Structure 1
Amino acid sequence: MVLPFVRELLADVEKSQAFRRTVSHLKSRAGRRGVSGLTNPAKALHLPLLSSSSGAPLIVIVESNRAAEEMLPALQSMAELTGAVSPKGILKLPAHDVLPFENLSPHPEIQEERASVLWKIATGAASIVLLPLEAASMRLNSADYYADLARIVRRGETIDIDPLLEHLRTVGYNSADAVDMPGEFALRGGILDVYPPEADRPLRIEFFGDEVETIRKFDPGTQRSAAPVDEVILLPLTETPVNERVLGVIHSRLSGRRLSGSESEVEQAIAATGVTVFPGWEFYAPVAGSGQHLFDLLPNSAVVVDEPSAVFAKQEEWWNKVNERHDRSGVGSLVRPEEIYFPPDQWRERLSSTPGIEVERLGISDSATGDGAANEEFTFHSRPTTRFHGSIPAMIDEVKRLTGEGRRVLFAAPNMGEVERLADVFAEYSLPFRFGSRTPSPGSESYLDETSFFAGEMSTTTIVKAMLPEGMEITDANLVLFGARDLFDDSDLVVSQPLRQKSKVSAFLSDFRDLVVGDYVVHVEHGISQYQGLKELAQGDTTGEFMLLEFAEAAKLYVPLTRLDLIQKYQDAFDYNETDDQVSAIADIKQDMESTMPMDRLLCGDVGYGKTEVAMRAAFKAVQDNRQVAVLAPTTVLAFQHFETFKRRFAAFPITIEMISRFRTTKQQKEIVEKVEQGKIDILIGTHRILSQDIKFPDLGLLVVDEEQRFGVRHKERLKQLKKEVDVLTMSATPIPRTLHMSLVGLRDMSVIETPPKDRMAIQTVVAPFDEKLIRTAIEHELEREGQVYFVHNRVESIFEIASKIQALVPRARVIVGHGQMSEGELEKVMLSFMQHKADVLVATTIIENGLDIPLCNTILINRADRHGLSELYQLRGRVGRSNRRAYSYLLIPAEQELTPIARRRLAALKEFSDLGAGFKIAALDLELRGAGNLLGGEQSGQIEAIGFEMYTTLLERTVRELKGEDLPERVSTQLNLALNLRLPNEYI
């Protein structure tokens, strides 16, 4: 909750002359004018106020989807702080992630977001619509059409269920046996379970006849009902419902036929063709009669063009690409780009007659509309704030300077934890402040009240909870707002950044001016303690200043400032915040390692979910206990990547790490083997070269097996022979059926990491015939966003031919080839080149399957996907989508060849399980497809046919409990005979 004085504080920006003139212009609806002098954060502050003061909804057009995504959180936060408009009324309408004429459908998440936003616009729920110019150029349907995409179900009203179910299927919902994912519904008798896309939980609608009796949220895990609600909005998942008439018109246009006659005759002709959907059909919907402009959906709105020079330059570039795709497609005059989008000249002509403003930070350099509309400019005065890069003293000095000059200072922190962190810092430095927001949590509220009381309520420095990445100084309002990035270089703000290189001392901090009370420090002789501030103590006739450290059990130590060489700041070296599942897995592993029994734990987590970080922490614990660690990887490439990751992660610590694989010469391998035997190597990373008889670990404490499905039972038994008391940690996104089954029945412990990293997006999976146009389009699309591409071709004899074909299709791409038969030096050079972005496309065999982590690589094409196993396909797909960018996986199959039933089911499963965290489901399906095999033998596929799988599992579980000495529950068989003949008649069923 934002306190009233904050809104009064921010309302002062409305008093400037430029603001009043801009509002007057928007109210008059008299053409277009230019606005200058607003930084990006200042735009986020002023736009909600302009919309509120002028009474007009705003359509804000930006350069790209990325620009819209960056502006949205700041706009919503500023709307909440100012109270000008509701944050829920600020919407982002994204452009499609692919272009028409590419035989590709837009990403489902984008279709879902567009459909939801268009419905809200059509129903009057929009105050500010933020969108890139591509989205603003799309030909749309009428407001009535989009208003009909959703259904509102209210308790007590009468609804015909069958038309409701048909509508749900039409707008993108899938029927399921049990609802646990957004976009699913299930009908059982008079109960309809449905999971709308924006709901926090699925809903259970109970009918009595046709009347809605109750609506309740329910837990998808337990399927138990919870809180009741009065109504539910069933939002659409697509803006282009599957409509037979629309599909018929599209098919007829693309086939060169024009349908004519009465409406019934046209419908009969369409029905006779048996039309179906196809990849990319959504783009052709406008040819069925859609011609509305976005401006028509908000007739009383004002249009704001942000940085018009960049927007219109982007428009020309985009339009050229659309025409290029059209020329390549062979569609010709059957469907022209002008029938899908408004071309730039028409769009700008419409813009020139629409009231609004062009906002440019440095001033309008050129008229956006070409008619002299921007001849009068409204000039604001804003500028960026100072960045402190985590330096608390510099921040305190700047705040004191600003408040001394009579400025009002406001700090925006993204969450209540950061609010409290700032409060503690200000209190430590005796800087007066007040809180501008309250939280519903009673505990936090009392803490904030208490802290604010002691700090002094009349301060001109305010702390509020708001997502404002960067700050601004509004000179007209005598106001300074600091954002999160101004204060701390927080890695949480940008998740996709690679790990930074660290020097050997970068884990520690030598500048003690940054220490605040409560920070942890390391005393060279006594270990970790907590800094409790500086104290003056008498030393004979003089007094000296000492650093007070508090250790365990309240033990205190005073360290003279002359001996600061004994103190180092203690801070973590992990660049990101752990997920809850990671924390739980780490705790389980530490507990296992400290028990008397050897650990045998399976760590099952989706690709890119942070299994390696968990393994590194286990390795660190083992090394700290003076034990050696062996890390077994299935390929030389993965071993090399692990080697680089471990070295970077442990750079600040005295840990010796080595790698043994064919990337090492015979002489180097011999030296490594000798050092291992002498105990001079703490962590050894390698392929199954580690299994050789000549490698002897004197004190092996932990074995980490990565991607265990690539190793046989004999390999792992050999490793256990190295040391009988060795802890084993097995990692996999898709464990082999036997391993998964052993974990499920309790023969092995298992930790599952299901929480995705922040901002991680699902991978869009496309199954398509091998087509050169599709390949070229997919690669060019990735290169246009400065990304990289994997192309998997698992035949060494023809891999260079495929690489030459890709080079011919996309001449500007830098194509390199990597496969397992290359020499060590060549393969290492290829992998390093790709990891350092010296190449755009890596054509490789399945040697890239495991572990490669390249955030810029977000498109993978897998040739002859029908020849790969389910887990192998899943692992390959997991090489992309390892950042906050949208990722694409293309499974290419021969156009003329019939797939086997198993291959078809594998590809269908992979396309179905595209949601985040699907690795466990893939492994479970693999268990179903292949069977569990012999649990203690070498067979990894087959069926337990003698007594059946379920009976075998039951008997095994009972036997294990007996061997453990556990009490078995007594099985009681009870029959109740009421002598009543109660049955449902066949006629009723």
Structure 2
Amino acid sequence: MSESHAEPTTETAHLAPGLVDAAFGSKAFAALWKRYRREGTVTLGHVCREAFGFATAVTLKATQPCRTWVLCREARTQEQTHADLQAWGMPAMFYPRAPQGDGPNGLSDPDTQAERISVITRFSGSPSEDEPAARVLVLCTDSLDEQVPSPKDLDSFKKSLELGMKIEVEALLQELEASGYERMPTVAERGQFARRGGIVDVFSWQGEEPLRIEFFDDEIESLRTFDIHTQASVQRLLRAQLLMQQVDASSATTALSTLFSKDDAVIFIEPVEDDVQAVPQEVKRRITITAGAPRDDDDDSATEDYSAAIFENPLGIFHAGDFVVQEARRIQFTKQVEEWHREKWRVVMFFHNEGERERFEELVGPQWLAAQRMELTLGLLHRGFTVPAASLAVLTGAEIFGRHQHTRRVRGSKLDEAQVLRQARDQMRDMKEGDLVVHLDYGIGKFAGIEVREGVKREEVMVIRYADQAKVFVPLSQSHLVSRYVGVGGKAPTLNKLGDARWGKTRANAERSVEEFAARMLSLAAQRQTLQGFAHPPDTKWQVEFEQSFLYRETPDQLRSIAEIKRDMELEKPMDRLLCGDVGFGKTEVAIRAAFKAVMGGKQVAVLVPTTVLAQQHWQTFRERMSDYPVTVEMLSRLTPKKREKEILAGVKEGTVDIVIGTHRVISKDVRFKDLGMAIIDEEQRFGVKHKEKFKELFKLVDVLTLSATPIPRTLYLGLMGMRDMSTLDTAPPNRIPVQTSVSGYDERVIRDAINAEIQRGGQVFFLHNRVMDMEKMKAKLEALCTEARVIIGHGQMDSELLEDVMQTFINGDADVLLCTTIIESGVDIPNANTIIIDRADRFGLADLYQLRGRVGRGGERAHAYLMLPRDLMTGGDARKRVNAIKQYTALGSGFKIAMRDLEIRGAGNLLGTEQSGHIVAVGFDLYCQMLKATTARLQGRRAPPPMEVTLHVDFLCMSEAEWLEATDPEAAPRKRVTAATAHRPADRQKLVTAKEWRIPAFIPQTYMEDARSRITAYRMLGEVLTRKELDSLEASWRDQYGRPPEAVEHLLICAAMKLTAAAKGITAIDIKEGKLMLTRKGGYVLVGGKFPRLTAPDAPLLLRESLHLLRSF
């Protein structure tokens, strides 16, 4: 797990600490610090909640250089205080709370555990000028009672590594195994290591990222972190530490509170008496920050001291929406700032981005701004406040724009798009012993593992069993000809017989069917290309401002996707693009920007959603986001009152309504647009076939943007194969943390503990019970289990107005538990809901479970999902397999993998239409898709055969390790060497040499990739390379993961480059024999001057390179 924090701009970095210094040095605060130095304790009273972070930053100036504990009552206060300290230039560490509900029925959380160990190690270590954050720890008071490993034990577990250090590789591996690390082919999680030649990968128990150690002999040549998903190196290091023992409950031997030292300082934020008592008495330096009144010695008669108070800003809080209200608020704002200016106050205003600042300057005008001497800067503050003692007013863009950003700790990882797409495809092709597979030439068989085959030549092969116990042995270098079988339904297909004609006929029928299907699909796509749509104009100034006013930092994927969508919109042909992104990865913002662009072009936009609740939320989001601009956004659904509906329909017809959001009500006959330019379809997989057909009919001439988190497999594969334009969002936004997922039998203790834990941290719970008939009974049971919980019921059979009231009650925080059906599955966005309990999880499909789990964890805090199964289903079966898949894919951005697993478990079904199902059963889905891809390329005029169809025979190459070992046997008889260097000599002068001297290796040796499955994957990837750029990228990834390629791999890569070059030139066969380069094109040989080109290089490696050079010259 990697963690980072939003970086302030240079401007903020200079300004923020200065404001802290100004408050710290003011007269009132100086008196407090004088008292603190004298007595060791002091209270900052009358501090508004918005300023807790600022007050803590000021207070830390007083506690320096002591090690300081910042104790908060609630997780929400802890999160906000930590984020604010970063904004004010005061680095601090964050101590995550123990995962709630962890135990025999829950999942351990390695990310949280690793972060906690890392924090304890750094906080209890020696002071470091390089890491000032290690002197300040922000935590919740209840964490003090948690059992943790002692710093002394942790120190004894550590092993330090640094660049240039001498260490025996084998000794390190033995030490890792003795310490409990598991040896794996590839490191995938903490507590694992892998060795590949001179490279050792290890994911330490406490590591935020795995470590790659590259050796030169026994010297550490390189230390670098790497991405667990892509396996690519990320950052080079000078030194690193490994934890040589797993830290679990048995090694947690001391309470966190025992780490206090008498020299420490403690800052309490809104404490109660128990919080104060939790800190050992010998810790004398104590500062309290509270919204209440400070008192002297608990004397109730003492006069309240407001001298160092920090108040809310006098402008109050408002929310975007009503333009008139905003105007009134802005008038009030300017008057207040002018008053502060007259009183010689310093007024500083923070904006989240440059666009927001420019918008503000435009609103108030440059002259007014200069006259008031306001300071404008960029920074991530939630709300403003005033400090009268320092004559300081701190404001944020929320005070004038009404949009409030909740700053959270930033965690996330980036998956390269090509890697994600390849992982999605590879997920299906991963083979285990016993899996059904399809060989291109022999048909459907069963994978029986990998073995070394002794025969004409000794080599490593994949073993595939066919009918009548027949076997086929496939060399690893030909593994690209084999794919895992995925068919339709649960019925296993019949294994093919070797030698009969059935597979050939089956394949021919499938290819014929694919041809017809591809021709029809391409015809539809071509037809759409010829339609005359509307070319939207380039971005306006308002578009630029609108995008810059986004309160969050866009992910690279969001920026790329909106650019792709805009490019399509600016063409005259109608757009048809799929935007595929994980749940909560920012699809809505991309859609909003596209809709805004359409409106700026004078067009109307229809936004279709599957549920009324989602329509309501989208309406509020679109309306708030566009509130600063003259854009009319309306909603049509069953909740819309008849009178209001009539007005909206009239507005749509007259063109006064710009954007209409709703359910399928939007495509009713009575909805007539004046000038519809774009349709946005959210959660496409939730609409029925009839609605989808109607979409095609109504939106034929307009731009269509389809949004989906787990696309129906047909849509996904058409996108992957290039038959439909697709944009992807694969990067987690900064405030998303993977959901901790637990699978267990139905257990009321787990339910009780999970609900109580969530309520205690100020959050809310979804309890999904998909049976309306006994919901009241379940409600009574939950209320008996959790007496403090406020439980409400919501389901689709309720009266529409009542359902809306229920959802609004929950959204407003007036209920703790929403006992509901799957109405929450599509797009419900309630950031405060951080726990979901799914009763009878076995009754849901994998895609459904994935969507449901995505409803929690949207507010930046660690979320929990509890999947409950009947105890008799816990042992296995399809439902258990489906639920376990959700547990497996805890990483963000795994929607593609989920779609793949769902496809595998439920079968391909009518994936490509009913008439294609039989052919998918016959040849398997993966091979069917390969056929479709190849046919599509051919029909589109891309005639060059893919590289795997180019045959290569070279008389001086050994293409397998076994062949090479045999050829280099020292007892092999000398043989005549006839190559380019000797072929022109008389026979009696030709040199007699051993095989080793005239043959060279071209394969992936076991010493380079030890694991056979890794070699299968490598050969398959090599067989699928289509461009030189892809080949270079593959070589770079091998170099990074396995070290410098040996001679055999370098020769294999040259062979791949030769096949690529030949394919591009229409050459179908390369044969190098006795110094002649024989190339086949269109059934005939390629000759130069009527002869085969001759090779002249003096040795085999140079001959290979010369062959590639000659190929490129044709």
Task: Decide: shared fold, TM above 0.5.
Answer: yes
What letter is aligned with 2:693? E
1:353 corresponds to which residue? 282
1:299 corresponds to which residue? 261
Residue 956 (structure 1) shift: 2.1
**Matched position secondary structure for 2:920:** coil
Instruction: Provide Cα deviations, 1:594-630, integer angstroms capped at 9, x if missing partner.
Output: 4344322211112223323433444455566666655
Residue 829 (structure 1) shift: 4.6
Residue 402 (structure 1) shift: 6.1
Distance 1:579 1:895 in 2: 42
2:862 corresponds to which residue? 886
2:271 corresponds to which residue? 311
| Unpaired segments ≥5 residues, structure 2 | 1-9, 128-133, 316-328, 409-537, 970-1004, 1011-1114
- Counterparts of 1:114-125 in structure 2 under 5 Å? 114-125=116-127
Distance 1:964 1:827 in 2: 51
> Which shifted more, 811-820 or 886-895?
811-820
With the length of structure 1 as denominator, give the TM-score of the two structures.
0.66
What value does the CA root-mean-square deviation take over the aligned residues?
Answer: 5.4
Query: Which of 222, 247, 256 matches 1:214?
Result: 222
- Counterparts of 1:384-423 in structure 2 under 5 Å? 384=311, 397=338, 401=342
1:64 aligns with 2:74: yes
Evaluate the alpha carbon distance shift between residue 390 and residue 757 of structure 1 in structure 2; reply closer, same or farther with a 3 A threshold. farther
Query: Which of 121, 125, 133 matches 2:141?
Result: 133
Identity %: 37
What letter is aligned with 2:74? S
Instruction: Provide Cα deviations, 1:44-89, integer angstroms capped at 9, x if missing partner.
Output: 344443343xx53233333333333333344456565xxxxxx3xx
- Counterparts of 1:226-375 in structure 2 under 5 Å? 228-234=236-242, 241-242=247-248, 246=250, 290-291=253-254, 294=257, 296-306=258-268, 310-313=270-273, 315=275, 347=278, 351-360=280-289, 365=295
Evaluate the alpha carbon distance shift between residue 987 and residue 102 of structure 1 in structure 2; reply closer, same or farther with a 3 A threshold. closer
Residue 841 (structure 1) shift: 2.6
Evaluate the alpha carbon distance shift between residue 676 and residue 172 of structure 1 in structure 2; reply closer, same or farther with a 3 A threshold. farther
**Matched position secondary structure for 2:952:** coil
Evaluate the alpha carbon distance shift between residue 190 and residue 38 of structure 1 in structure 2; reply closer, same or farther with a 3 A threshold. farther
What letter is aligned with 2:955? N
What letter is aligned with 1:129? L
2:61 corresponds to which residue? 49
1:772 aligns with 2:748: yes
**Matched position secondary structure for 1:909:** helix
1:974 corresponds to which residue? 952
Instruction: Provide Cα deviations, 1:700-748, integer angstroms capped at 9, x if missing partner.
Output: 6544333222345564234323454344322211112221111000011
Distance 2:136 2:650 in 1: 68
1:762 corresponds to which residue? 738
Evaluate the alpha carbon distance shift between residue 964 and residue 897 of structure 1 in structure 2; reply closer, same or farther with a 3 A threshold. closer
Evaluate the alpha carbon distance shift between residue 216 and residue 654 of structure 1 in structure 2; reply closer, same or farther with a 3 A threshold. closer
Distance 1:428 1:757 in 2: 35
Residue 398 (structure 1) shift: 6.2
Answer whether contact 1:42 1:472 (CA < 8 A) is retained. no
Query: Which of 792, 797, 800 matches 1:816?
Result: 792
Evaluate the alpha carbon distance shift between residue 836 and residue 306 of structure 1 in structure 2; reply closer, same or farther with a 3 A threshold. closer
What letter is aligned with 2:956? L
Bigger Rg over Cα: 2
- Structure with the greater relative contact order (CA < 8 A, sep ≥ 6): 1 or 2? 2
- Counterparts of 1:7-22 in structure 2 under 5 Å? 10=21, 13=24
> Which shifted more, 198-207 or 140-149?
198-207
Answer whether contact 1:815 1:840 (CA < 8 A) is retained. yes
Answer whether contact 2:166 2:219 (CA < 8 A) is retained. yes
1:791 corresponds to which residue? 767
Answer whether contact 1:629 1:700 (CA < 8 A) is retained. yes
Distance 1:879 1:818 in 2: 15
1:961 corresponds to which residue? 937
Instruction: Provide Cα deviations, 1:646-671, integer angstroms capped at 9, x if missing partner.
Output: 5666676565745355x579999999
Distance 1:233 1:883 in 2: 33
Distance 1:475 1:172 in 2: 59
- Counterparts of 1:235-634 in structure 2 under 5 Å? 241-242=247-248, 246=250, 290-291=253-254, 294=257, 296-306=258-268, 310-313=270-273, 315=275, 347=278, 351-360=280-289, 365=295, 381=308, 383-384=310-311, 397=338, 401=342, 428=366, 480=392, 482=394, 484=396, 491=403, 493-494=405-406, 578-622=554-598, 629-634=605-610
Residue 16 (structure 1) shift: 7.1
Distance 2:652 2:378 in 1: 53
**Matched position secondary structure for 2:933:** helix
| Unpaired segments ≥5 residues, structure 1 | 81-86, 247-284, 316-343, 434-454, 497-526, 532-550, 553-568
Residue 862 (structure 1) shift: 0.6
Distance 1:781 1:748 in 2: 46
Distance 1:617 1:413 in 2: 20
> Which shifted more, 129-138 or 10-19?
10-19
Evaluate the alpha carbon distance shift between residue 681 and residue 130 of structure 1 in structure 2; reply closer, same or farther with a 3 A threshold. closer
Distance 1:166 1:758 in 2: 39
Distance 1:426 1:15 in 2: 31
Distance 2:837 2:68 in 1: 41
Residue 931 (structure 1) shift: 5.2
2:212 corresponds to which residue? 204
Evaluate the alpha carbon distance shift between residue 193 and residue 484 of structure 1 in structure 2; reply closer, same or farther with a 3 A threshold. farther
Evaluate the alpha carbon distance shift between residue 10 and residue 617 of structure 1 in structure 2; reply closer, same or farther with a 3 A threshold. closer
Answer whether contact 1:697 1:722 (CA < 8 A) is retained. no
Q: How many residues are matched?
A: 797
Distance 1:697 1:431 in 2: 43
Answer whether contact 1:194 1:203 (CA < 8 A) is retained. yes
Evaluate the alpha carbon distance shift between residue 925 and residue 50 of structure 1 in structure 2; reply closer, same or farther with a 3 A threshold. same
Answer whether contact 1:705 1:728 (CA < 8 A) is retained. yes
**Matched position secondary structure for 1:962:** helix
1:112 aligns with 2:114: yes
2:1092 corresponds to which residue? none
Answer whether contact 2:193 2:202 (CA < 8 A) is retained. yes
Answer whether contact 1:660 1:684 (CA < 8 A) is retained. no
Residue 23 (structure 1) shift: 7.7
Answer whether contact 2:63 2:265 (CA < 8 A) is retained. no
**Matched position secondary structure for 1:95:** coil
What letter is aligned with 1:92? F
Distance 2:20 2:549 in 1: 40
Instruction: Provide Cα deviations, 1:1-51, integer angstroms capped at 9, x if missing partner.
Output: 77799889949957979869968976x9xx853445695466434444334
Query: Which of 886, 889, 899 matches 1:910?
Result: 886
2:198 corresponds to which residue? 190
